[in-house]
């Protein structure tokens, strides 16, 4: 079959490639929106990054919103015209963990735009928070009830529903939803601690992760970094001992993954590589927060290094993604 074909044959009939549009495409939106927030924080802390009337964060925000609409339309098309494939994906023991990337994208849209357009983003946040709660219950219920989900299916992607809960307070606190933010923070924090132990057990004592899922190791960086930001928002912006512990844990996990860089670079490109974007963005934002509270050169310089690294990663991922789409390597049946 020609890789550039606009349709694929499945079960004796031809389906358009959009029928196989993966929900994991929303991971790209998460990465772009996380990068947008990182640049917003950086431009506030380092005014010299703003060149005249040009803000990198504004350009990123426009791109992220445009791609969100395109991805949402493509995924909606899949549910309307190929619902059997959409349901199959949502019930898959691995892919079901990527479904909450939809609600997480909505929450990040609210987080990066709440100061510019508070009322529309407030509605987006409410929709995203409600959807996040429903999807968390759906995923957790699947873990509990289904007998076909085994330890071998576990990967850092299991953190995605949990990280989504931790993102709710980022915009929830500024909007004044304090108790709701505490609810989601409690869910995310407690389940993250439990899952972190199980994921380490899976990685150390069982077979290595499938090659396609190896990039998801980067997801381990995100929960403590986002939890640190939540904790500070919920406690009046104070950088206390808890915030420091969460930050340095995220920082250490980042260092640990650097030791795996040589092995990871051998893995062919796939959408799972977008798993690096949002966690690095979360660590960058957390480091910018540290730099804003601890006035020494280390955190200032580290935040700029991480911002540059994050930007290079996102540019590279966008280039590889568009290239893969043109070549027909994405939206294929598994």
12-62 pLDDT, tens per residue?
A: 457 888 899 999 999 999 999 999 999 999 999 999 999 878 899 999 999
Which pair of tokens denotes residue 216?
A: 């998801």
287 pLDDT above the threshold of 60 = yes
What residues does 172 pair with on adjacent strands?
A: none
Query: Is beta strand 7-10 parallel, antiparallel or unpaired with respect to 13-16?
Result: antiparallel
- Cβ density class 7-27: b for 16+ within 10 Å, e for less: ebeeeeeebbbbbbbbbbbbb
Tell me if 314 sits within 8 A of 280, measured CB to CB.
Answer: no
Structural domains in the chain, sorted by start: 13-326 (1.50.10.150)
pLDDT of residue 288: 97
Band of pLDDT at residue 9, cut at 50, 70 and 90: very low
Tell me how far apart the alpha carbons of residues 25 and 76 are, in angstroms, rounded to a whole number: 12
Q: Give 217-260 pLDDT, tens digit per residue.
A: 999 999 999 999 999 999 999 999 999 999 999 999 999 998 88
269 pLDDT above the threshold of 90 = no
Which pair of tokens denotes residue 61?
A: 């925000």
Q: Give 135-158 pLDDT, tens digit per residue.
A: 999 999 999 988 888 888 888 999
pLDDT of residue 11: 43
pLDDT of residue 2: 40
In angstroms, the Cα distances linking 291 to 45, 59, 294 are 9, 24, 5
pLDDT of residue 118: 84
DSSP state of 8: E
pLDDT of residue 6: 44
Q: What is the mean pLDDT of the chain?
A: 91
**Averaged over 87-109, what is the pLDDT?**
94
pLDDT of residue 35: 98
Distance of CA 255 to the CA centre of its chain: 19
Tell me if 241 sits within 8 A of 219, measured CB to CB.
Answer: no
pLDDT of residue 14: 73
**Of 154, 148, 139, 67, which is closest to residue 100 (Cα–Cα)?**
139
pLDDT of residue 59: 94
pLDDT of residue 13: 53
Tell me how far apart the alpha carbons of residues 103 and 119 are, in angstroms, rounded to a whole number: 18
| Torsion from C-alpha of 321, 327, 330, 333, nearest 10 degrees | -170
pLDDT of residue 10: 42
């Amino acid at each position: 079959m020609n890789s550039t074909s606009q349709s694929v044959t499945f079960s004796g009939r031809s389906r358009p490639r959009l029928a196989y549009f993966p929900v994991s495409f929303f991971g790209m939106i998460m990465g772009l929106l996380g990068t947008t927030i990182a640049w917003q924080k950086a431009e506030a802390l380092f005014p010299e990054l703003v060149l005249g009337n040009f803000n990198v964060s504004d350009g990123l925000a426009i791109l992220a919103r445009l791609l969100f609409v395109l991805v949402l339309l493509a995924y909606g098309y899949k549910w309307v015209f190929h619902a059997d494939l959409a349901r199959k994906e949502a019930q898959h023991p691995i892919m079901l963990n990527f479904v909450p990337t939809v609600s997480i994208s909505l929450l990040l849209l609210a987080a990066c735009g709440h100061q510019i357009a508070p009322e529309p983003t407030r509605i987006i946040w409410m929709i995203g928070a409600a959807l996040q709660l429903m999807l968390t219950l759906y995923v957790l219920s699947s873990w509990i009830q289904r007998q076909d989900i085994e330890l071998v299916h576990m990967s850092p992607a299991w953190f995605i529903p949990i990280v989504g809960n931790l993102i709710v307070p980022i915009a929830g606190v500024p909007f004044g939803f304090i108790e709701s933010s505490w609810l989601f923070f409690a869910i995310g924090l407690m389940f993250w601690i439990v899952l972190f132990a199980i994921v380490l057990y899976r990685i150390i004592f069982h077979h290595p992760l499938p090659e396609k899922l190896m990039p998801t190791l980067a997801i381990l960086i995100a929960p403590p970094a986002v939890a640190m930001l939540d904790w500070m928002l919920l406690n009046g912006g104070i950088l206390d001992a808890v915030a420091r512990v969460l930050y340095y844990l995220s920082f250490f996990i980042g260092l640990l993954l650097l030791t795996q860089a040589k092995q990871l670079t051998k893995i062919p490109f796939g959408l799972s590589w977008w798993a690096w974007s949002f966690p690095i963005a979360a660590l960058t934002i957390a480091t910018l927060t540290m730099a804003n509270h601890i006035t020494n050169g280390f955190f200032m310089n580290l935040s700029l290094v991480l911002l540059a690294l994050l930007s290079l990663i996102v540019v590279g991922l966008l280039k590889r993604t568009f290239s893969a789409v043109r070549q027909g390597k994405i939206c294929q049946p598994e």
